[in-house]
């Protein structure tokens, strides 16, 4: 494919974009229980207008864009006071939860190297911590130990974290809340452990930290998880989740500047401009900063409390319906706005496709280390009005999955998949697996078979299959003469 020879009118280009988006998951109706947090049309309009106003400004150089410096420091200040930090706390605005957590790990690593002389630092995290911490270990070549969680509550036990600590350990991680089951790790206990053993403690509040203080104000039992807990040294919190900001909006906060210093990268050792990057991005659009700042002013504390109340009521109503259904069970009692439910006698994976046909998007999660395969729901303020429509559809999908013959793999196939080893993953095996899963244009035709197959494999083999899948998916269109339509 080549760059189109001639330009087209704005109207034509917009029509092309609209056509390209026609097959995307619709989200405006609030029927998606993942990926999108919907604040309604007015919130969307404010965010878009603010984003467009600062789209082109570049936070690479805050000395010439004082507006962006102001947005960032004010957003961080509001985040610190939301999480009960004191005047010593600092932070930065990042592109998302993953970047915030990567930076927390990078700062901890360099802090350990410079201040403690630990050349090869190690971190300890619950297996329920978001996979972005494993990505951090992978990118920054760090060692880590994944600690199993309590099989009933899915919270990590502090004693189990303590047992995993080694002389090179520098960082503990806890979540408030963790994504998979929506529960809050015992952060106060982890704080005590961190202080006792002279370790850093990062609290991953990417999905929970903005919302949970509002839930507490609404009377929900939310334990302390923020800077009020002694021993917590950094917290990540996303605005592009429950603050309803456009994607690309998160903060990483530190208890002290002394720790944050290790996050910053500078280079005067090349021939170009002086590089000073507090975060991973260098050139950085002002759009997400301006939109986040604008929404904090547009909705205000009052607006966010109202949204939290709607979210809490929707979560409680859905959790109640799942508790009342004899065929499924909540994996854990929800402590936030996230629900995971599973079934003991049948596979829940077909529920994803069955619900998709009814216009809903719910998210499958594979089984791992005591957490069986389940369906995950991220509930937001837009869910509340749809609960009466959602619950009967969900009950029907559960019933169909329970009685469906497509809900299991043939025994022989399950055995074969379970026996695959990483070294068996040749291109031929991958090709056969994709054919068995049923794909069209490189994408699976439905999600049930592929999830059943992945769930039957050893996790390291499933990881290789997923790598191969995306390596095949992101390939340029083949025809070199084709003009994009
Ligand atoms: C607890 C937690 N941490 C980190 C992340 C990663 O955030 P992002 O997808 O914005 O990179 C998520 C995403 O859902 C999360 O729930």
Tally of domains in the chain: 2
Q: Is 97 in the pocket of ligand 1 (CB under 6 A)?
A: yes
Residue 163 lies in a domain: yes
For ligand 1, pick from 97, 127, 173, 236 the residue to mutate: most ligand atoms within 8 Å of CB.
97
Does 58 lie in the same domain as 202?
yes
| Whether 311 contacts 337, CB under 8 Å | yes
Summarize pLDDT for 34-71 with one digit per residue, the tens: 999 999 999 999 999 999 999 999 999 999 999 999 99
The pLDDT tens digits for 181-225 are: 999 999 999 999 999 999 999 999 999 999 999 999 999 999 999
* 39 part of a folded domain: no
Q: Does one domain contain both 271 and 418?
A: no
What does the alpha-carbon distance between residue 5 and residue 310 come to, in Å, rounded to a whole number? Answer: 51
Q: What is the pLDDT of residues 13-24, one digit of tens each?
A: 999 999 999 999
- Using the 3D structure, point to which of 294, 322, 344 is the last residue of a domain: 294
Given 245, 264, 294, the domain boundary residue is 294
Last residue of a domain, one of 267, 294, 321: 294
The verdict on the CB of residue 365 being under 6 Å from ligand 1 is no
Residue 299's pLDDT is 98
201 inside domain: yes
Is pTM beyond 0.95 here?
yes
* 58: Cα separation from own chain's centroid: 26
Residue 172 near residue 190 (C-beta atoms within 8 A): yes
Query: How, if at all, do strands 250-254 and 90-94 pair?
Result: antiparallel
324 falls within a domain: no
Which of 72-80's residues contact partners 24+ apart within 8 Å by CB, and which partners? 72/289, 74/293, 75/239, 75/251, 75/289, 75/292, 75/293, 75/296, 76/251, 76/253, 78/296, 79/237, 79/251, 79/253, 80/227, 80/253
pLDDT at 482 over 90: no
Structural domain contains residue 17: no
Q: Based on the domain organization, do 421 and 287 belong to the same domain?
A: no
Distance 98 CA to ligand 1 centre (A): 6
Q: Using a 6 Å cutoff on CB, does residue 235 contact ligand 1?
A: no
Domain span at residue 66 reads 50-294
Looking up tokens 């802090």, which residue turns up?
111
pLDDT in tens, 420-469: 999 999 999 999 998 888 877 777 778 999 999 999 999 999 999 999 99
pLDDT at 29: 83
The encoded tokens of residue 236 equal 């990540």
Query: What pLDDT shows up at residue 178?
Result: 98
306 falls within a domain: no
- Please write the tens of the pLDDT for every residue from 374-428: 999 999 999 999 999 999 999 999 999 999 876 789 999 999 999 999 999 999 9
Identify the pLDDT of residue 411.
93
Query: Which of 100, 134, 136, 206 most suits a substitution to test ligand 1, by most atoms within 8 Å of the C-beta?
Result: 206
Q: How confident is the model at residue 480 (pLDDT cuts 50, 70, 90)?
A: low
376 lines ligand 1 (CB under 6 A): no
Both tokens assigned to 460: 């390291």
Q: What is the pLDDT of residues 68-116, one digit of tens each?
A: 999 999 999 999 999 999 999 999 999 999 999 999 999 999 999 999 9
To the nearest whole number, what is the mean pLDDT of the chain? 96
Q: Residue 70's pLDDT is what?
A: 98
User: Domain holding 100: CATH number?
Assistant: 3.40.640.10
Give yes or no for residue 204 CB within 6 A of ligand 1: yes
24 lies in some domain: no
Confidence band of 475 (pLDDT split at 50, 70, 90): very high
Q: How far apart are CA 375 and CA 28, in angstroms?
A: 22
> Is it the case that residue 313 has pLDDT exceeding 70?
yes
Over residues 326-339, the mean pLDDT reads 97
| Residue 145, domain member (yes or no) | yes
């Amino acid at each position: 494919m080549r760059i189109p020879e001639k330009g087209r009118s704005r109207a034509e280009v917009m029509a092309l974009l609209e056509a390209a988006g026609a097959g995307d998951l619709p989200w405006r109706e609030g029927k998606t229980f993942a990926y999108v947090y919907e604040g309604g049309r007015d919130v969307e309009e404010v965010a878009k207008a603010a984003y467009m106003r600062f789209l082109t400004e570049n936070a690479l150089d805050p000395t010439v864009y004082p507006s962006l410096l102001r947005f960032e420091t004010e957003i961080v200040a509001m985040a610190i006071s939301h999480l009960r930090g004191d005047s010593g706390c600092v932070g930065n605005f990042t592109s998302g939860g993953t970047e915030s957590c990567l930076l927390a790990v990078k700062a901890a690593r360099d802090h350990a190297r410079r201040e403690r002389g630990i050349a090869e630092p190690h971190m300890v995290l619950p297996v329920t911590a978001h996979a972005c911490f494993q990505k951090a270990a992978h990118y920054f070549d760090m060692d880590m130990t994944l600690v199993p969680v309590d099989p009933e509550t899915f919270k990590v036990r502090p004693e189990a974290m303590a047992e995993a600590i080694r002389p090179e350990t520098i960082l503990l991680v806890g979540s408030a809340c963790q994504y998979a089951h929506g529960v809050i790790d015992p952060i106060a206990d982890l704080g005590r452990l961190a202080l006792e053993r002279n370790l850093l403690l990062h609290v991953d509040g990417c999905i929970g930290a903005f919302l949970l203080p509002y839930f507490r104000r609404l009377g929900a039992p939310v334990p302390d998880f923020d800077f009020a807990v002694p021993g917590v040294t950094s917290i990540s919190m996303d605005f592009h989740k429950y603050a309803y900001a456009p994607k690309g909006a998160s903060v990483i906060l530190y208890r002290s500047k002394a720790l944050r210093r290790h996050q910053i990268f500078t280079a005067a050792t090349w021939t170009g401009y002086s590089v000073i990057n507090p975060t991973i991005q260098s050139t950085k659009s002002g759009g997400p900063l301006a939109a986040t700042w604008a929404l904090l002013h547009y909705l205000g504390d009052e607006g966010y409390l109202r949204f939290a109340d709607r979210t809490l009521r929707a979560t409680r109503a859905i959790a109640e319906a799942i508790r009342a259904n004899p065929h499924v069970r909540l994996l854990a009692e929800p402590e936030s706005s996230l629900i995971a439910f599973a079934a003991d006698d049948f596979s829940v994976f077909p529920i994803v496709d069955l619900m998709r046909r009814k216009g809903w998007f719910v998210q499958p999660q594979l089984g791992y280390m005591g957490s069986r395969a389940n369906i995950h729901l991220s509930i937001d303020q837009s869910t509340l009005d749809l609960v009466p429509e959602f619950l009967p559809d969900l009950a029907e999908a559960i019933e169909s999955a329970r009685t469906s013959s497509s809900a299991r793999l043939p025994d022989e196939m399950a055995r074969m998949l379970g026996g695959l080893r990483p070294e068996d993953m040749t291109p031929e095996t991958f090709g056969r697996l994709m054919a068995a899963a049923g794909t069209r244009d490189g994408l699976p035709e439905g999600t049930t078979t592929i999830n059943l197959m992945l769930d039957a494999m050893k996790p390291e083999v499933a990881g290789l299959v997923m790598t191969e899948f995306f390596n095949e998916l992101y390939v340029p269109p083949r025809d070199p003469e084709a003009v994009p339509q």
